[in-house]
Amino acid sequence: MEKYDEYDRPSVAADIAAFGISTENSENKRLGKVKKLKLLLIRRGAEPFSGKFALPGGFLRKDETIEQTAQRELTEETGVNGTKFISFGIYSAPDRDPRGWIISSGYLALLNTVALTTAENSDAAQAFWFDFSYSDDGGSKKITLTSGSDKLEIINGNGYISANELAFDHGRMIFDAFMKLRDEVLYHNIVFELLPELFPISDLQQIHETITGTKECAANFRRKMKDKITETEFFEETTAHRPSKLYRKN
Amino acid sequence: MEKYDEYDRPSVAADIAAFGISTENSENKRLGKVKKLKLLLIRRGAEPFSGKFALPGGFLRKDETIEQTAQRELTEETGVNGTKFISFGIYSAPDRDPRGWIISSGYLALLNTVALTTAENSDAAQAFWFDFSYSDDGGSKKITLTSGSDKLEIINGNGYISANELAFDHGRMIFDAFMKLRDEVLYHNIVFELLPELFPISDLQQIHETITGTKECAANFRRKMKDKITETEFFEETTAHRPSKLYRKN
DNA sequence: AGAATAGTGTCTCTAAGACAGTATATA
DNA sequence: TATATACTGTCTTAGAGACACTATTCT
To the nearest whole angstrom, how far is the Cα of A62 from the nearest Cα of chain B?
Answer: 7
In this model, does residue A179 exceed pLDDT 90? yes
Taking each helix axis as running N to C, give the angle between helix B170-188 and helix B201-212, from 0 to 180 degrees, rounded to the nearest 10: 130
Q: What is the DSSP letter of A61?
A: P
Banded model confidence at residue A47, pLDDT cuts 50, 70, 90: confident
Calculate what percentage of chain A has a pLDDT beyond 70: 90
Nearest to A187 among B60, B89, B187 (CB): B187
β-pairing, B102-110 with B53-54? unpaired
Contact B61 A2 (CB under 8 A): no
pLDDT score, position A82: 85
Residues of A at the B interface (Cβ-Cβ below 8 Å)? 1-2, 4-5, 7-12, 46-48, 59-67, 87, 89-90, 92-94, 99-103, 105, 183, 186-187
Contact between B10 and B102 (Cβ < 8 Å): yes
CB-proximal positions of chain D, under 7 Å = 3-10, 16-20, 23-27
Is the backbone peptide bond immediately before A243 cis, with ω within 30 degrees of 0? no
| Pick from A35-44, A143-152, A193-202, B122-131: least confident | B122-131
Banded model confidence at residue A2, pLDDT cuts 50, 70, 90: very low
CA A141 vs CA A134, A144, A152, A156: distances in Å: 7, 10, 14, 5
Contact B90 A92 (CB under 8 A): no
Q: Which residues of B touch A186 (CB under 8 A)?
A: 187
Q: Which residues of A touch B48 (CB under 8 A)?
A: 1
Test the A interface: residue of B6, B44, B65 with most A CBs within 10 Å? B65
pLDDT in tens, A88-116: 999 999 999 999 999 999 999 999 877 77
pLDDT in tens, B112-121: 877 766 665 5
pLDDT score, position B176: 98
Banded model confidence at residue B5, pLDDT cuts 50, 70, 90: low
Mean pLDDT, chain A, as a whole number? 90
In this model, does residue A119 exceed pLDDT 90? no
How many CB atoms within 10 Å of residue B126? 13
Contact B90 A100 (CB under 8 A): no
pLDDT score, position A125: 55
pLDDT score, position A151: 96
Which residues 6+ apart lie within 8 Å of B220 measured at CB? Answer: none
Q: Which residues of B touch A92 (CB under 8 A)?
A: 60, 65-67, 105
Counted residue by residue, chain B has a size of: 250
Q: In which order are the strands placed within the sheet that holds A229-235?
A: A199-200, A245-249, A229-235
Contact between B244 and B201 (Cβ < 8 Å): yes
pLDDT score, position A1: 45
Q: Which amino acid is at B204?
A: L
Residues of B at the A interface (Cβ-Cβ below 8 Å)? 1-2, 4-5, 7-13, 46-48, 59-67, 87, 89-90, 92-94, 99-103, 105, 183, 186-187
Nearest to A62 among B63, B101, B105 (CB): B101
Contact between A76 and B74 (Cβ < 8 Å): no
Q: Which residues of A touch B9 (CB under 8 A)?
A: 9-12
**Residue A40: φ, ψ to 5°:** -95, 125
Contact B48 A9 (CB under 8 A): no
Nearest to A1 among B46, B90, B94 (CB): B46
Mean per-residue pLDDT, B103-107: 98
Mean per-residue pLDDT, B222-250: 91
Contact between A76 and A59 (Cβ < 8 Å): no
Q: Which residues of B touch A102 (CB under 8 A)?
A: 4
Q: Which residues pair with B86 in a beta bridge?
A: B108
pLDDT in tens, B30-64: 556 788 999 999 999 888 999 999 999 999 999 99
pLDDT in tens, B120-145: 555 555 889 999 999 988 789 999 99
Which residues 6+ apart lie within 8 Å of A61 measured at CB? Answer: A69, B7, B8
Mean per-residue pLDDT, B196-209: 95
The chain B residue lying nearest A48, using CA atoms, is B1
pLDDT score, position B1: 45
Mean per-residue pLDDT, B163-183: 96
> Which nucleotide is closest to the Cα of B31 by its C1'?
C4
CA A218 vs CA A205, A206, A209, A214: distances in Å: 8, 10, 11, 12
The alpha carbon torsion through B182, B221, B38, B74 (nearest 10 deg) reads -60
pLDDT score, position A5: 56
Banded model confidence at residue B237, pLDDT cuts 50, 70, 90: confident
Secondary structure in 3-state letters for A185-250? HHHHCHHHHHCCCCEEHHHHHHHHHHHHCCCCCHHHHHHHHHHHEEEEEEECCCCCCCCCEEEEEC
**Does residue B5 or residue A234 have the better pLDDT?**
A234
pTM across the whole model: 0.93
